[in-house]
Structure formats: structure tokens, C-alpha cells
Amino acid sequence: MSWVWANIDRLFETSLTHLWLALVPVVVGTLVSLPLGWAAARSKAAKAVLVPVSSLLYTIPSIALFVIMPVVLGTKILDPFNVQAALTVYTIALLVRSIADALAAVPESVTTAATAMGYRPLGRFFAVELPLAIPVLVAGVRVASVSNMSLVAVGQLIGVGGLGFFLLDGAQTSPPNYAEIIAGILAIVLLALVVDGLLALLGRLLTPWSRVGSGAGGKA
């Protein structure tokens, strides 16, 4: 514990960096996934390409992706952007499929009604289809956030790892500084839990309709 108190400022600061590294990709990845998921839900051809490719991307080991990024993007090897770009790829890989499925699951009677009411395709997407996809979307974003939270630490191997620093640093001192390692791990877990909880709360606030009991009230 004494290590924690002595380094509380650094822990806090690094936590913020960690959050920044993990969550910017979630935001960017979500924004990119929405149109891709929309395309996959609308066109069989797009789905046939997008879904397998995104699944394939997710199977690439994180460390490999971190190392490839500078080559692909032309960035410097130690640029934090490498980690964020790689995590954005993972987020997209996770979300495209679930967004496509969520949009495809909107009942046909609802989309038909929306079209017949006079919604144009884009208006219908934002007013009807996207809101109905929110429960699935939030579930996907929660998985991506927690997954990114742990993957950021791996980025320490290319020098950009947020709280991952304490894991590597603690392991490299002799004898190993277990307090430092455990503090780093606990901080990552804590951050992941908080972010996950906040997202779950956000999801609840956005979808009051999904929790109402079904069934009739009174006479038809």
C-alpha cells in the first residue's frame, strides 16, 4: 500500500492517459461502424464482405497489430496513435456485425410504417432504426471498451501503454515490485468496471422503452 500512496499522483495521471488511449478508439470505432453496419444491414453484398473481414481483423494478435501500424500509417514507432489506431480496428471489428444484426432485427412492420409515414432513408435511420439498435449497440460498446482497457496495457511493449507501464516497470525491477504490478492491474480493472458501469447506465437512460412490461392494460 505504501507504494500506492507514494505514487498516487502518477497512478491517477496514468489512469487518465490509459482512459484516453482506450476510449478515443471506442468513440471513433463506433462512428465508423455505424455506416458500415448500416451498409451491411441493407445490402447482402456489403454484408458478405464486411462481416467476415471484421471477424478476421479481430483475430490478429494485438501486439502484431501495434507493430504493423507504423508501417501501414507511416507513423513513428512510439507514436500513441499506433495503439489508438489498432484499438479502433478492434472496436470496428467487434461492432460492425452487432450493429448490422441489430438494424436487421428492426421489425419490418416498423420500417414499413416509417417509410409510409414519409421518412426519407437517412431520417428513418436516425429516428427509428438507430434508437431501436441502441440496446445491442451499447452491449457491443461495453465489450469493446473493456477489451480496449486491457489491450492498452499490451501497448506498453511498444512503449505506449498507460497503466501497462507499472506492470512492465514492476516486473523489470529486481526483485520485482509486486505492489507496483498489483496496483497497475487493480487500476486497470477498476477503470474497466467504472466505464462499463457508466455505459450500462447510459444505455438504460437512452432506452426507457425497452424495460416496460409487455401486455395489455385494460380493455381494447
Partner 1 sequence: MIEFQSVTKRYPDGTVAVDALDLAIDDGKITVLVGPSGCGKTTSLRMVNRMVEPSEGAVLIDGEDVRAQSSSGLRRGIGYVIQNAGLFPHRTVLDNVATVPVLNGANKTEARTRAAELLEVVGLDPAFAKRYPAQLSGGQQQRVGVARALAADPPVLLMDEPFSAVDPVVRDELQAELLRLQAELGKTIVFVTHDIDEAIKLGDKVAVLRVGGRLAQYDTPSALLAGPVDDFVASFVGRDRGYRALTFLPATGVPVDPVASIALGTPAATARDRLTDGWAVVVDEQNRPLGWVSDTILSTVEAEIQAGHLASGGSLHVVDAEHAGNAGSLRNALDAALSSPSGVGIAVDASGAVVGGVKADAVVAALAQARSAGEVPT
Residues that bind partner 1 (CB under 8 A): 107, 109-110, 112-120, 123, 128, 131-132, 207-210, 212-218, 220
Pairwise CA distance, residues 185 & 12, whole Å: 13
| 1 vs 216, beta carbon nearer partner 1 | 216
Least distance between partner 1 and beta carbon 40 (Å): 22
Q: Alpha-carbon distance 24 to 34, whole Å?
A: 16
Q: Residue 93 or 114: which CB sits closer to partner 1?
A: 114
| Count helices and strands in the chain by DSSP H and E runs | 10, 0
- Name 54's Cβ contacts closer than 8 Å, sequence gap at least 6: 36, 92, 93, 94, 96, 97
Judged by beta carbon, residue 85 or residue 141, the one nearer partner 1 is: 141
Minimum Å gap between C-beta 132 and partner 1 is: 6
Q: Is the Cβ of residue 9 or residue 211 nearer to partner 1 in the bound state? A: 211
Cβ closest to partner 1, residue 115 vs residue 173: 115
Closest to 186 in 3D by CA, of 170, 203, 172: 170
CB of 117 to partner 1, least distance (A): 5
CB of 174 to partner 1, least distance (A): 58
Comparing CB distances to partner 1, the nearer of 17 and 207 is 207
Task: Classify residue 68 as exposed, middle or buried by CB count within 10 Å of its CB (0-12, 13-18, 19+).
Answer: middle
Least Å from the CB of residue 131 to partner 1: 5
C-alpha 207/C-alpha 201 separation (Å) is 10
CA–CA separation, 148 vs 33, rounded Å? 16
Other residues' Cβ atoms within 10 Å of the Cβ of residue 140: 24
- Minimum CB separation of residue 66 from partner 1 in Å reads 39
The 10 Å Cβ neighbour count of residue 81 is 17
